[in-house]
């Protein structure tokens, strides 16, 4: 048991930086200053116009140019928001499942397996905590992401996003 009267915690505070530049554009498409509450001493509340909780600057050809998100930028934002959202205590679920484990395609684009323990050997032998999915369709693919509409073989169908950095080849 501690004999000190107070517990001391060191906390990092994220605060508005007036020298950063209010007109810089976030990957959500809104400006830096819109991620803070001007009525509450510039409290970092996240974007007032969408569900973006953290300002991440989008590099555009010209300052203040409105440029639509690429699919890759949109998925990076979605994955970040998915992680942030799932860290919250809520019963609400998102419309896709994010798989951050090792995975491998079989039969081209017809099925894949992933291992929730990140055990490549078990995955390739399809034992242990390895799960198989039938791919109903590939919704999107680029150098970073593989988004599919999956069938788990038990009657459930849903979207899943796999990180390409975790892909293992047979």
Q: What pLDDT sits at residue 168?
A: 93
Question: Is the predicted pLDDT of residue 95 greater than 80, yes or no?
Answer: no
Q: What pLDDT sits at residue 125?
A: 92
Least confident stretch, 55-69, 99-113, 123-137, 142-156: 55-69
Helix (H, G, I), strand (E, B) or coil at 86: helix
User: Are the beta carbons of 104 and 115 closer than 8 angstroms?
Assistant: no
Q: Give per-residue pLDDT as tens, 14-69.
A: 889 999 988 888 877 788 888 888 888 888 888 777 777 788 887 655 555 555 67
Q: Give per-residue pLDDT as tens, 106-123.
A: 877 799 999 999 999 999
How large is the average pLDDT for residues 65-92? Answer: 74
How large is the average pLDDT for residues 122-147? Answer: 91
Question: Is the predicted pLDDT of residue 126 greater than 70, yes or no?
Answer: yes
Cβ neighbours of residue 81 under 8 Å, at least 6 residues apart? 51, 52, 53
Domains of the chain by residue range: 12-68, 96-166
Q: What pLDDT sits at residue 62?
A: 54
End-to-end Cα spacing for the chain: 54
* 125: DSSP letter: H
Q: What pLDDT sits at residue 92?
A: 61
Burial class (CB in 10 A: 0-12, 13-18, 19+), 146: buried
Question: Is the predicted pLDDT of residue 103 greater than 90, yes or no?
Answer: yes
The percent of residues in the chain predicted with pLDDT above 70, rounded, is 90
- pLDDT, the chain, mean: 83
């Amino acid at each position: 048991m501690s004999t000190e009267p107070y517990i001391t915690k060191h906390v990092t505070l994220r605060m508005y930086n007036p020298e950063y530049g209010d007109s810089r554009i976030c990957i959500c498409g809104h400006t830096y200053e819109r991620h803070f509450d001007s009525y509450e001493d510039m409290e970092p509340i996240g974007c007032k116009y969408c569900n973006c909780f953290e300002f991440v600057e989008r590099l555009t050809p010209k300052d203040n140019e409105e440029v639509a998100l690429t699919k890759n930028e949109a998925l990076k934002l979605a994955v970040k928001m998915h992680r942030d959202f799932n860290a919250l205590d809520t019963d609400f679920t998102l419309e896709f499942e994010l798989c951050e484990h090792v995975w491998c395609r079989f039969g081209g684009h017809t099925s894949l397996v992933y291992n929730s323990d990140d055990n490549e050997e078990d995955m390739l032998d399809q034992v242990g905590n390895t799960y198989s999915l039938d791919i109903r369709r590939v919704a999107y693919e680029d150098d970073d992401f593989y988004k599919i509409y999956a069938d788990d073989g038990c009657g459930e169908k849903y979207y899943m996003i796999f990180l390409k950095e975790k892909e293992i080849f047979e």
